[in-house]
Amino acid sequence: MVKKLIFIMILTMVSVVNPNLVSADIGLDSLKSATDFKLFTPHYSTKSWKLEIKEPYPIDLDRSIVKVRLHYFDKSGQTYMFGVEQHKAKGYKIKRSETTIDVRNKTSTTKVIEEDFKFDTSGENEEINGIEARFQPWGDGTPGGVLRWVQDGTYIEIDSMHLSQKQMVKLAESMK
Domain ranges for the chain:
2-89+118-173
Task: Please give the model's pTM, rounded to 2 decimal places.
Answer: 0.76
**Residue 46: what pLDDT?**
58
Poorest-pLDDT segment among 30-34, 107-111, 157-161: 30-34
The Cβ-side half-sphere exposure at 5, using a 13 Å CA radius, reads 2
Kindly state the average pLDDT of the residues 100-116.
Answer: 94
End-to-end CA distance of the chain: 32
**Residue 15: what pLDDT?**
32
The type of residue at 167 is: Q
Whether residue 120 contacts residue 134, with contact meaning beta carbons closer than 8 Å, is answered with yes
**Residue 25: what pLDDT?**
43
**Residue 59: what pLDDT?**
76
Examine the pLDDT at 21 and tell me if it is beyond 70: no
